[in-house]
């Protein structure tokens, strides 16, 4: 299980680093320093968003959070499928877990800041 999580985190980091490279940042003097900077920002993007470039950022924020939401729903789907397959006798706990996840998603979506 830990290997799967590590693999998914590396894939997410590579995608975020690629997205940072696609934005054509120019904070460093050499290309190697810029790539190292992009890789570090990719790690930060695994956990939070921050604006790399001046100007309007509405679409960059929307894309970032859309990716995060899709990943979270994919992880919840995989988790619930694995949980259901291994704990068929624990039906009440599984229903409680699904309800808590749905409630948390509702609270996060409804109390989020508008862009």
For residues 36 and 71, what is the distance between their CA atoms, to the nearest angstrom?
Answer: 25
Residue 37, pLDDT score? 92
DSSP for 43-57, please give it.
HHHTT-----SSS--
Residue 83 CB contacts under 8 Å (≥ 6 apart), including other chains: 94, 97
**pLDDT tens for the 115 residues of the chain, in order:** 556 677 878 888 898 899 888 888 888 899 999 999 999 999 998 888 888 878 888 888 888 888 888 887 777 777 766 666 565 555 666 676 777 788 777 777 777 655 4
């Amino acid at each position: 299980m830990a290997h799967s999580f590590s693999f998914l985190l590396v894939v997410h980091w590579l995608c975020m680093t690629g997205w940072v490279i696609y934005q054509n940042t120019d904070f460093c003097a050499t290309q190697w320093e810029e790539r190292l900077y992009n890789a570090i920002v990719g790690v930060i993007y695994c956990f939070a968003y921050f604006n790399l470039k001046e100007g309007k950022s509405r679409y960059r924020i929307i894309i970032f959070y859309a990716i995060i939401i899709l990943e979270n729903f994919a992880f919840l789907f995989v988790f619930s499928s694995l949980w259901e397959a291994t704990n068929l006798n624990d039906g009440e706990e599984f229903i409680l877990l699904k309800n808590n996840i749905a409630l948390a998603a509702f609270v996060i979506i409804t109390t989020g800041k508008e862009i």
